[in-house]
Amino acid sequence: MLKDSYKDIMHKEEILRSLLQNQQLQYQDYASTHNLDINYIKQQIKNLENEGFLISIDEDECILKFVPKFIDEQQILEKTGCKIHLFRNIDSTNTYAMTNLDISSDSIVIAENQSSGKGQKNRKFVGALGTQLLFSYMYEVTNRESIQGLSLVIGVSILKSLKSYGMDSLQLKWPNDLYVGDAKLGGILVESKIFKNKVRLVIGVGINVSNILIDIFGTSIDRKITTIENELGSCPSRTDLFIKIINQLKQDLNEFFKFGFKKFKINFLESAKYLHEKVRMFSNTNEVTGIFSDIDDMGNLILKKDNGEFEKIFCGEMSLRKL
């Protein structure tokens, strides 16, 4: 059984190499050349599609619609100093990190594709292989109280990195989303768990990079999306983006755990989406409307309600929409 499984993997990888080189594959020609059954070839191509490769599958041939440039693990290791756990396809980097807590702090779980990417409130994060930045960064602290406002700080950190590429119109939607205008660029999901008497933080980030995402998913999801390529007019190296973002994130995390969210508050407010506008705050059980007035020193949203009273909305309790 193991031998057959190994053979399947080797055949699948050989088919992938052919697709990456030629962008298309004729089943009959490939079957004759490699002495394989056509149905077997089709099954391996379907397996590649399930891993996130964008493949158009017809009766006689298949075409690779997007040729990904894979992440350079060695470069990230050398230029960030982090231990790297790189996967071509995984259910979710956060799920992997949360269930493998023996991974050392200052490690990064990176995926070329996620089959069940996690967003806030268990929303699914859609994508395709090689089109996004998908990672979870592990960090360790002594208590949970010190992490209030953390997801906002991560947003500020990513904003700094992307603005260095010229993305000056990037905004932060409280508490954990990246937007350009009314289009979502990415999101942040911070999870935590007690591990060996310390708090293990798993900082999950997903950012759209390639325009192929707009072509494939632009009309099939319930909100408008954008990509780094769409905003810049070109597509930077995902490896370079990873290095820039991780190094900035490490620097900002050190600052955050020394000085708290207060040090980053102005940075967040300068780019806060819907600040001083009429908004709707809602959860499964509650809804309130008012003016997004401010952010306090712990990262909580201050809402001026329609009756003139102010209400503090804690991070993660409610979602934010413009009225």
DSSP for 70-81, written as a single string:
---HHHHHHHH-
Of 227, 248, 269, the position where a domain reaches its end is 269
Of 245, 269, 293, the position where a domain reaches its end is 269
Domain check: are 104 and 217 in the same one?
yes
Predicted pLDDT of residue 2: 45
Domain check: are 145 and 40 in the same one?
no
The domain containing residue 186 runs over which residues? Answer: 73-269
Q: What is the DSSP letter of 195?
A: E
Domain check: are 155 and 239 in the same one?
yes
Domain check: are 261 and 242 in the same one?
yes
Domain check: are 6 and 117 in the same one?
no
Exposure b/e, 131-165, CB count within 10 A at least 16 = b: bbbbbbbbbebeeeeebbbbbbbbbbbbbbbbeeb
Q: What integer best gives the mean pLDDT of the chain?
A: 92
Predicted pLDDT of residue 121: 46
Q: 202-236, pLDDT tens digit by residue?
A: 999 999 999 999 888 766 666 799 999 999 999 99
* CATH classification of the domain holding 296: 2.30.30.100
Q: 27-37, pLDDT tens digit by residue?
A: 999 999 999 99
Please state the length of the chain.
Answer: 323
Domain check: are 102 and 232 in the same one?
yes
* CATH classification of the domain holding 11: 1.10.10.10
Which pair of tokens denotes residue 138? Answer: 């592990």
Beta strand extents in 83-168 (DSSP E only): 83-87, 107-111, 117-118, 124-125, 132-141
Q: Residue 244 pLDDT more than 50?
A: yes
Rounded Cα–Cα distance for residues 84 and 95 (Å): 16
The pTM (predicted TM-score) of the whole model is 0.92
Q: What total number of domains does the chain contain?
A: 3
Q: How confident is the model at residue 137 (pLDDT cuts 50, 70, 90)?
A: very high
The bridge status of strand 198-208 relative to strand 183-195 is: antiparallel
Domain check: are 79 and 143 in the same one?
yes
Coil/strand/helix, residue 66:
coil
Exposure b/e, 200-236, CB count within 10 A at least 16 = b: bbbbbbbbbbbbbbbebeeeeeeeebbbbbbbeeebe
Q: Residue 315 pLDDT more than 90?
A: no
Domain check: are 247 and 284 in the same one?
no
* CATH classification of the domain holding 221: 3.30.930.10
CA 253, distance to chain mean position in Å, is 18
Predicted pLDDT of residue 102: 85
- The burial class, CB within 10 Å (0-12 / 13-18 / 19+), for 28 is exposed
Domain check: are 37 and 93 in the same one?
no
Q: What's the start-to-end Cα distance of the chain, in Å?
A: 58
Domain check: are 252 and 127 in the same one?
yes
Amino acid of residue 225? I
Q: Residue 293 pLDDT more than 70?
A: yes
Rounded Cα–Cα distance for residues 260 and 262 (Å): 6
Domain check: are 7 and 128 in the same one?
no
Q: 37-69, pLDDT tens digit by residue?
A: 999 999 999 999 999 999 999 999 999 999 999
Domain check: are 32 and 132 in the same one?
no
